[in-house]
Structure 1
């Protein structure tokens, strides 16, 4: 005798239980337990993220903003003005033109910032994949439930039509 889960798999997906994809098996389990399927992706990812992940997200959000570009432009312009005009009057220029030390710091910053931003982008891609997977599960569950409701409505209509036909057949020929 087939188990309840096996009958559900056959009825809902038209497949044997061992032939179900992972998403279908997860949906089947949740239907069987009568659990809601929708989940908050942000909460799931936040629960899985480490301190380094959260730091990478913050660095990417700051480094990829207009505020950072504007502030960094001001710092660079100040550095160049300070080392070309202001400090040269007193002979305290610590990075004269062509600003080799500034280039070294910018290269170091780019070498560190690029992988951090890529880590954040990878986490966002993982979050997007999880969101798409959860959306698929919700859509599939919704489709299954709609089909189930349609089948119930069709059964009710057929039952009602059978009752009407029985009444019509039971009436005498003279229509009384």
Structure 2
């Protein structure tokens, strides 16, 4: 099999198989074996994710949505409104203005939400790199296959011209 790999890599890339990088070797092997090289990176990436990573992505997805903003303003309104109503009724509010407890809760939410969103962005970046690598391999395979077809057509053209010359 290595002879076929070497022949394909020399004809298409001008290098021996051993001189190629990992991606190029994988492409040459896929050409020799007639295998597809493309894959669904979403499925591949999801299979590798841990429970914590999936949870962080869901939290980040909700934290960056209009639903979160609506829920957030509703909670703020309820918090401030209930405290002001208690004060207006002459009762002791659980968080008197200037709402120091609310400020602390908002700080904790922000402190937790920021790293979760960053973890999700890091995973998206990793997924994009994986996607880019697969796109490179598919493009390289297509280019090599077109080169091989071009070489075959050129070889056939030369043979036909030789036959035409022999007929004359």
Please, what TM-score do these two structures have when normalized by structure 2?
0.92
User: Following the alignment from structure 2 to structure 1, what is the Cα–Cα distance between the partners of residues 157 and 5?
Assistant: 28
SS in 2 for 1:36: coil
Cα offsets for 1:118-157 (capped at 9, x unmatched)? 1100000000000000000000000000111111112222
1:73 equivalent in structure 2:
73
Residue 22 of structure 2 corresponds to residue 10 of structure 1: no
Q: How does 1:75-154 map to 2 (within 5 A)?
A: 75-84=75-84, 86-88=85-87, 89-154=89-154
Tell me the CA shift for residue 49 of structure 1.
0.3
Residue aligned with 1:11, SS? helix
- Per the alignment, in what secondary structure is the counterpart of residue 38 of structure 1? coil
SS at match of 1:138: helix
Residue in 2 that maps onto 1:172: none
* Cα distance in 2, alignment partners of residues 106 and 124 from structure 1: 27
Gaps of 5+ in 1: 170-176
Gaps of 5+ in 2: none
> Which of the pair has more CA radius of gyration?
1
- Deviation readout 1:37-76 (Å, 9 max, x if unpaired): 0011001101100001100110111000011112201211
In 2, Cα distance between equivalents of 1:28 and 1:157: 25
- Hey, which bits of structure 1, 4+ residues long, moved more than 3 A? none
TM norm structure 1: 0.88
Looking at structure 1, the residues matched to 96 and 154 of structure 2 have their Cα atoms a distance apart, in angstroms, of 85
Of 24-33 and 133-142, the range deviating more from structure 2: 24-33
Aligned equivalents of 2:43, 2:3: Cα separation in 1: 34
Q: CA-atom RMSD, angstroms? A: 1.4
Q: Secondary structure at the match of 1:97?
A: coil
Equivalent residue number for residue 24 of structure 2: 24
